[in-house]
Structure 1
Amino acid sequence: MLFLLRLIHENASDLGYLLHKHPAKVQQFSLPFGESTVFYPEVSDESTTACLLVNVDPIYLSRLRAGDVGRPLEPYVNDRPYTANSFLSVALGDAFRTAMTGRSQHRPELAAQALQLEIEIPVLKCNSGLDLMQRIFEPLGYTIEAQQLPLDEQFPDWGPSPYFHAKFRVQARVQDVLRHFYVLLPVLDNAKHYFISMDEIEKLLRNGEGWLEQHPERELILKRYLKYRQNLIRKAALQFETEEEEENPIQETPEQKEKRISLNQQRLTAATEALVSSGTKTVLDLGCGEGNLLRHLVKHPFQRIVAVDASIRPLELAKEKFAGKSIEFMHSSITYLDDRLTGFDAAALIEVIEHLDPERIQAMERSVFGHMKPRTVVVTTPNVEYNVLFEEMTGLRHRDHRFEWTRAEFQNWASKVAETYGYQTEFRTVGDVHELYGSPTQLALFTRTPRSKA
């Protein structure tokens, strides 16, 4: 299979600096399923073309897949060595790994520039036809010239095949084009030929950053890229929704934004004040996300602050935001018994528990109150009764909320936890208090009783 990238520019021969592959050399790379080769069939100051040739080992394919009863020859007779698919995507990421980061030591100004680029793929599979190709590439600025290939030239009555000889033209940075095709090739083919795990979400977020967030076909891309794995699709969608909430507040009216920020700041301030007044020296921020509470904690002289989250992406973003601050970051879950999280004075779960599936609540209780055993625990959660006061709200406050409790439900839960694990509870309101519906956020302050220290 072939992938050709052509640069049309007054200094087109500098493409080698952007791809980190010398035009005068032929370079080969070993892959788990075969090998790839990078070479330049055309080099001039006006136009330079880089070619990625991928040779897939058919013996490897036959051993990888056992096929099914209905198609016993499928592992041995298939299109995988010949048509652009996820194998080509893997090869792109392997051969042009540095180029996809946008780094260029010798031509940094060219790497940052939107250039006139042409991409040609002689055999590109797209079962859903040219319409899908246009829907996912044209919003990114591409123009497409595609010729649908016949199923067999010797038998025209068999009709067209799902394969296209496709050419794409775009004005974009080289790194963006490589990232586009890395993500979208498997989407067109609607198949991946390796095991799909949580790592795919990180790859998708990393290579989709800056363009996939606002793509009109984002939902379709997520489904196809993640092979319709609903748990992975939901987690990836949540990551994008969280980033949109942080980066695109312009969708809110000024009044809505003011109310949201006001309530959020009141919630974080109330939690921080509860921790400070308890005499806490060491604190756990459980479910830290991208670090909203950390912004408040670092303003106080805590001896040790540890931020914990089960999701890698927000944890890494928090690390970047608080680089140089005395904060430790740990990848862990509040539903697991983690010895690293024991021995702290206090723990905060700020708008966290409502994101847990109800059947996991008890595991969280055992982990936080039974295993970690901090002297003080601060928990905040939405008051579902207050939701009627939010105009045009239907359902829960966030798509990822698994539940929201009334005041009575929250207090009943907290009281049972306190009795089970030896704590006393104090309930506080956060935000404007309505005479009928209470406050928008409810807070429980758990304090471990002396008898539970043994």
Structure 2
Amino acid sequence: MILSMEVSRSGQYPATDLGYLLHKHPDRVQEFATSQGRATVFYPVATSDTCRAVLHVDGEGAQIDRGGDVDRHVNTVPYAASSRLIVALGKVFGDALAGRCANRPDLVDVRWPLTLTIPSVPVRSQRKPTELFAPLGWRVSEVAQPLSPQEWGDSDFVTIRLSGSQSIRDALRHIAVVIPVLADDKHYFVDDEEIDKLERLGDGWLVDHPHRDDIVAGYVKNLRHLAETASARMASDVSSSDGRDGAGPDGGSGTSGEAAAPHREPLARRRLSRVVDVLEQTGARSVLDVGCGEGRLLAALARNGFGRLAGIDVAPAVLDAARARLDRWPGIDLWQSSLMYADERCRGYDAVVLMEVVEHVDADRLATAMASVFDEMSPRTVVVTTPNREYNAVYGLGARFRHPDHRFEFTRAEFTTWAASVADEYRYAVTYDGIGDEDPDAGTPTQVAVFTRDDEDDS
């Protein structure tokens, strides 16, 4: 099992700074005992312009799985770059995966011109390497390894080469999640702790991946109860105030050899920051987050000194997760509720936020939901964000919505028409904005409407 990482100089940082990030000195060959055998780290190239680190695992600890990678002729287990390689990687490069670099913390977020090469990856999932890696900003090359005799064709093993501008932390996290999904062969028992690990490794990129649900299911061995739990937690990360659209910030699936998209801050984070900024600009001191998910927006508002905060969601399990997240701010109220009926507890807030919420409401019930917000709750400010359907083409999604739970998605014209009609009906002024990188034809991935009621004109 082999993984090769090659970086080039990044601005003021020489390529040999890779040694600090990996906690392995370029001048030494180092060996480590792992459950999969002896791991060796060495640097065939180590100059200020180019540095290549190689992880080799001899596979001596790999056990034969008669139902998996072994046929009657060849035991491929010690050679396949699958979950076994990732287990060894976690043992050897655990600090790098965690983003720890005590001696040089300035290096953790540096983006390097980087190439990863991983031979002998068994690809047995329905999704192909390009579909899973390209949305993360990688150029992807996959070369099938032929069978012998040649007339038998290609095996399901491929050599994957990834090129792009990435931090070492993010690059290792990408392969730590995606490689086991591609191989579809996790060799160890998985339980709820695997979901926790997935959230850690997927932080900042997985919730926005256009094939998030496939990755989540594959990572937990397609065990239905774990997949449903993991998908619910991941969906809540991008639902409502956490941005539930599920499309990747770096474009669609692409094809092998396409240019990598430049690095962008994940769309969910940008959306969260923009909503906080908007609320600060309105002067709101009390905020109700409708569809609060696991409470990421509420946590951001609490950190920014907002006063009275509350969140509602229809899912009790998600609210439990929000309570755990918001434990350090005991004054934040959370309760189960729905936009489909009036709830007097939702009244009296300066601002109400519906972040990636309206697209989850059936179109024929949207009017009821808006009456609940604008008439029953009647805040001075309402902030609505929702996906821009036209941008889906940039993500390579075709006619598909960004998330299976979406009931509809607005084009830009449809959104402005709808928002204007809501503003007119409830006597609010409305302004429009966008979040994310703008495409000249499709606009921005997220569209925003900010509704403001002039209290002096109220009758």
TM-score, normalising length: structure 1? 0.56
- For residues 102 and 219 of structure 1, the distance between their equivalents in structure 2, rounded to whole angstroms, comes to 25
Question: CA 1:216 to 1:389, structure 2 compared with 1: closer, same or farther past 3 Å?
Answer: closer
Question: Any unmatched runs of 5+ in structure 2?
Answer: 247-270, 309-314, 338-361, 370-403, 406-459
Give the distance between the partners of 1:199 and 1:110, measured in 2 at CA: 29
Match of 1:172 among 166, 170, 173: 166
CA gap 1:200/1:81 in 2 versus in 1, 3 angstroms = same
Which residue of structure 2 lines up, in the alignment, with residue 54 of structure 1?
57
Alignment match, 1:133: 129
The separation in 1 between residues aligned to 2:296 and 2:108, in whole angstroms, is 32
Q: 2:76 aligns with which of 72, 76, 79?
A: 79
Aligned to 1:6: 6
Corresponding letter in the other structure for 1:55: D
Indicate how the Cα distance of structure 1 residues 122 and 249 shifts in structure 2: closer, same or farther if over 3 A, else same.
closer
Matched-pair contact (CA < 8 Å) for 1:102–1:175: yes
User: What aligned pairs does 1:248-263 form with structure 2 within 5 A after superposition?
Assistant: 248=243
Partner of 1:121: 118
Structure 1 residue aligned with 2:241:
246
Corresponding letter in the other structure for 1:351: Q
More helix as a share of residues: 1
In structure 2, distance between residues paired with 1:83 and 1:232: 26
Q: Secondary structure at the match of 1:233?
A: helix
Pairs within 5 Å for 1:261-410: 265=288, 290=295, 321-323=326-328, 350-351=335-336, 389-391=365-367
> Cα 1:247–1:149, aligned 2, differ >3 Å: closer, same or farther?
same
The equivalent residue for 1:106 is: 103
Q: Indicate if the aligned counterparts of 1:4 and 1:51 stay in contact, CA closer than 8 A.
A: yes
| Counterpart contact for 2:69–2:77, Cα < 8 Å | no
Contact 1:179 1:207 in 2 (8 A): yes
The residue number in structure 2 matching 1:146 is 142
Counterpart in the other structure of 2:435? none
SS across alignment from 1:61: coil
RMSD value, Cα: 4.5
Where 2:94 maps in the other structure, the secondary structure is: coil
Structure 1 residue 326: Cα displacement: 7.0
With over 3 angstroms needed to count, the CA separation of the structure-2 counterparts of 1:317 and 1:33, relative to structure 1, is farther
| Higher mean C-alpha deviation, range 107-116 or range 83-92 | 107-116
Rounded to whole Å, the distance in 2 between the matches of 1:149 and 1:53 is 19
Contact 2:30–2:42 (Cα < 8 Å) also in 1: yes
Aligned residues of 1:290 and 1:315 also touching (Cα < 8 A): no
Question: What displacement does 1:231 show?
Answer: 0.6
Report the AA paired with residue 136 of structure 1: L
Quickly say closer, same or farther: Cα 1:96–1:392, change in 2 above 3 A.
Answer: farther
Percent of aligned pairs sharing the same letter: 29
Distance verdict in 2 for CA 1:140–1:314, change over 3 Å: farther
Q: Which has the higher contact order (CA 8 A, sep 6+)?
A: 2
Q: CA deviation at 1:246?
A: 2.4
What secondary structure is seen at the aligned counterpart in 2 of 1:82?
Answer: coil
Does structure 2 conserve the Cα–Cα contact (< 8 Å) formed by 1:39 and 1:52? yes
SS in 2 for 1:194: coil
User: Letter of the aligned partner of 2:6 in structure 1?
Assistant: R
Say which SS state the counterpart of residue 237 (structure 2) adopts.
helix
1:188-217 residue CA offsets vs partner (Å, 9 max, x unmatched): 111111111111111111111111111111
8 Å CA contact retained: 2:40, 2:57: yes
Aligned partner letter, 1:175: R
Shift of 1:5: 0.6
2:112, 2:32 → 1: CA distance? 27
Q: CA separation in 1, counterparts of 2:165 and 2:116?
A: 11
Work out the CA distance in 2 between the residues paired with 1:237 and 1:134.
Answer: 22
Change over 3 Å in CA distance of 1:83–1:219 after alignment to 2: same
CA distance in 2, matches of 1:167, 1:291: 35
Aligned length: 302
Q: Please, what TM-score do these two structures have when normalized by structure 2? A: 0.55
CA apart distance, 1:317: 6.8
Q: Distance in 1 between matches of 2:21 and 2:163?
A: 18
Partner residue, 2:206: 212
SS at 1:98 equivalent: helix
Deviation at 1:73, TM superposition (A): 6.9
The residue number in structure 1 matching 2:249 is none
Look up the equivalent residue of 1:6 and give its one-letter code: E
Looking at structure 1, the residues matched to 17 and 131 of structure 2 have their Cα atoms a distance apart, in angstroms, of 32
Gaps of 5+ in 1: 269-287, 301-308, 328-347, 353-385, 394-398, 401-454
Distance 1:72 1:93 in 2: 22
Is the CA contact (8 Å cut-off) linking 2:43 and 2:53 kept in structure 1?
A: yes
Task: Tell me which of 23, 33, 36 is aligned to 2:36.
Answer: 33
Q: Which runs of 4+ in 1 moved over 4 A?
A: 71-77, 249-252, 264-268, 288-296, 313-322, 386-389
Letter in 1 for 2:35: P
| Aligned mates of 1:95, 1:211 — CA distance in 2 | 23
Which of 1 and 2 has greater Rg? 1
